[in-house]
Structure 1
């Protein structure tokens, strides 16, 4: 983990993917379910924007404060693309200084370098990109290299034997045979890899 490559270009790719997905969400879909059992699409977008803002604040302040990922949002139904774009721009700007990548951050569950923090931000964006794509009924078209990257980060930062109270992931599930990187990532993070809004596998 000490030699984590600069994650900023990969984050930009993950954010591009998320941007395209959010742009395709129509207001009438906001109350639809997602693979995150407690989240509707609106809840998921709220979480994605708030988390992105939180990673930006860590880069800006150089410290991790309580509730940094849990700021209340008031976003109109047609404002999610703009809200995410603003949060994303803030994150990118906050981490422009290379020195931030070498700073250590006490994240609560681990002491991480800035490189590792941004790798976690990238994994979060990729994983929730899959959540949103599935909620929208999509089974293909996601960046497979991003899925492999996020899966590797998740396996390092969210070990399967460290789940339970205070950990934002459920028990590791078994991915179906032949599952792509996103399916394996979903299963590792505790989501059913074959989830669809109707309970059917997406073609």
Structure 2
């Protein structure tokens, strides 16, 4: 059994897993498009998302203040394993019912947030470490509506920056526009 959320996660995850596998140890201190996050910081954050959103699928509370270092021996393999568990956790239709007790938002939004982090942070890590990245087109298409929904609150909380400029010649539903709505310039680091 699968859900639209688990199907989208399954499409997006391998692309981000490939980027994570391609990160060299000597790249961990590089900057990323996420303000104040090095590659190491962003990897730890993405690990936290992948693990915590498994619990959120089951409507369990999670502790976001714990900040363990996930980058011990075998972290690339563990990231792939945990990402597989994330997909499996959202495959049961009951995960999409109701409101998340810990987050206070509809479960469908919570699942979308996991997809958003996998997709956007996959791009962040790819550009920070000079790797190619092509997000799952179906994920990008789905995420535009979610980002529009989340943007006002996310900007107030400092999760998204103000929208970045986008080239007017591009499709308004592409990755560049999705990144811009989260405050990222898709030509990072060449332009501010």
TM-score, normalised via structure 1 length: 0.79
Give the superposed CA RMSD. Answer: 2.6
Q: Identify the residue that residue 163 of structure 1 maps to in structure 2.
A: 155
Match of 2:188 among 172, 184, 195: 195
Match of 1:112 among 82, 106, 112: 106
Shift of 1:21: 0.9
Residues 1-203 of structure 1: pairs in structure 2 closer than 5 A: 6-60=4-58, 62-67=59-64, 70-76=66-72, 79-106=74-101, 108=103, 110-113=104-107, 115-138=108-131, 141-156=134-149, 158-160=150-152, 163-164=155-156, 166-179=157-170, 181-196=174-189, 199=190
1:162–1:53 distance in 2 versus 1, CA, 3 Å:
closer
Shift of 1:116: 2.4
Conserved in 2, the CA contact under 8 Å of 1:175 and 1:187?
A: yes
Matched residue of 1:121: which SS? helix
Matched residue of 1:86: which SS? helix
Shift of 1:141: 3.5
Matched positions, count? 188
Higher helix share: 2
Any gaps of 5 or more consecutive residues in structure 1? none
Any gaps of 5 or more consecutive residues in structure 2? none
Matched residue of 2:120: which SS? helix
Shift of 1:38: 0.9
Q: Which runs of 4+ in 1 moved over 4 A?
A: none
Kindly provide the CA deviation profile for residues 58-108 of structure 1, in whole angstroms up to 9, marking residues without a partner as x: 123x2334427x5423423x6332221232133233333321221321454
1:79–1:178 distance in 2 versus 1, CA, 3 Å:
farther
